Structure 1
Amino acid sequence: MKAHQCEQDGCHRVIPFEERYCQIHAKLHQDYRGRNQYQINQSYNRARSKDDRIKFYHTRTWSHLRQLAIQRDHSLCRYCLIDGIVTPFEYVDHIVPVEFDVGKQKDITNLVCACKSCHEKKTAWEQRYYGTGENNQLRHRVIELMNVRAVANAMNG
């Protein structure tokens, strides 16, 4: 039988390999396990759905949508154009992040060309507003901003 020591600091009791804590310390950590199980499940689901989202960017559908957005925006950053600045695009970005609303992943009206600077600003704003990105909590009760001007004002404001 495999065994190891209890994970509680300072405890040297030998317990079965499948357990984390001895009987004494397991009671102290029951609440801890329950709270973290939700976080573990949420992280797993986000990672799994992230893999699915990444696969999408290697499909013909994405290539076609991307080309349509580039042609529509004339290869220029739409966020910069709002301020009257002409900047070539580097990214085709989702206005509403796919992590927040996967239903808008294939919606051409949810795509916009962005330069590197605007893309970085928008990504930082998304993390604050929508709660996207690593180690963040998605905020499901926020209003989706689909208007490029509204997003530009929010990320620059």
Structure 2
Amino acid sequence: MVRRCKYAGCHTLVERPAYYCDKHKQYEAEYAKQRETYSRTYYNKRVRNRDEANRERNKFYHSPTWTSLRKQALERDKYMCQYCLALGVKRPNAKVGDHITPAEIAPEIRTELSNIATACRDCDNVKRKLEQEIYGTGQGNTHRNTKLRLSVSQWAKMIARKKQETREGT
């Protein structure tokens, strides 16, 4: 496999994994260091998984346990978004397994199938923002309302309201 030299204006082909040709080889180390700084691996090690709780949560979402639970929930819900369905809208082909009460807030129920709902990407994205507002989930936030447990229909109403606000605001 080959690629073009990364030096501006140089079109020499170089064999992978090299990024620069023999003429511009002195830039290779600096470029590799720069790529590492912005790589997904760096992000996961230094930002996303910077503390034990985040590491543990990330590990869970890559485990066979989560894969199995997610699949069971999707099949149980027939790949229909439960938040849309609660409002009377049938949205098939939903593929997100969503914790109704975030696992970050209630890790003790993260493996309970009754706490997992199928969601479409739109509802999942809006719900994540709502979770940050209500529970203080996400990077750099402080948890609050940790005893609050909302149902799928309660979430659905809030998601619909938030979507409506977003549409009116644009």
Corresponding letter in the other structure for 1:118: C
Instruction: Give, in whole Å, the separation in 1 of the partners of 2:130 and 2:155.
Output: 9
1:91, 1:113 within 8 Å by CA — same for their partners in 2?
yes
Once the two structures are TM-superposed, the CA of residue 59 in structure 1 deviates from its matched residue by 1.9
1:99, 1:132 within 8 Å by CA — same for their partners in 2?
yes
Change beyond 3 A, Cα 1:81–1:141: closer
Structure 1: 5+ residue stretches without partners: 1-44
Partner of 2:127 in structure 1? Answer: 122
RMSD: 2.2
Partner of 2:67 in structure 1? Answer: 63
Once the two structures are TM-superposed, the CA of residue 149 in structure 1 deviates from its matched residue by 0.3
The equivalent position to 1:53 in structure 2, one of 54, 57, 68, is 57
Partner of 1:93 in structure 2? Answer: 98
Change beyond 3 A, Cα 1:99–1:141: closer
Partner of 1:156 in structure 2? Answer: 160
Change beyond 3 A, Cα 1:71–1:133: same
Corresponding letter in the other structure for 2:69: L
**1:6-155 to 2 correspondences below 5 Å:** 47-87=51-91, 88-140=93-145, 142-145=147-150, 147-155=151-159
Corresponding letter in the other structure for 2:87: D
Aligned partner of residue 51 in structure 2, secondary structure: helix
Structure 1 ranges of 4+ moved more than 3 A: none
Once the two structures are TM-superposed, the CA of residue 155 in structure 1 deviates from its matched residue by 3.0
Corresponding letter in the other structure for 1:113: T
Q: How many residues align?
A: 114
TM-score w.r.t. the length of structure 2 is 0.61
Once the two structures are TM-superposed, the CA of residue 141 in structure 1 deviates from its matched residue by 5.1
Instruction: Give, in whole Å, the separation in 2 of the partners of 1:120 and 1:101.
Output: 19
- Same amino acid, percent of matched pairs: 36
Instruction: Give, in whole Å, the separation in 1 of the partners of 2:87 and 2:149.
Output: 22
Partner of 2:20 in structure 1? Answer: none
Change beyond 3 A, Cα 1:46–1:82: farther
Change beyond 3 A, Cα 1:141–1:53: closer
Instruction: Give, in whole Å, the separation in 2 of the partners of 1:141 and 1:105.
Output: 14
Post-superposition CA distance 1:24-55 (Å, at most 9, x none): xxxxxxxxxxxxxxxxxxxxx98321110111
Aligned partner of residue 139 in structure 1, secondary structure: coil
Change beyond 3 A, Cα 1:141–1:91: closer
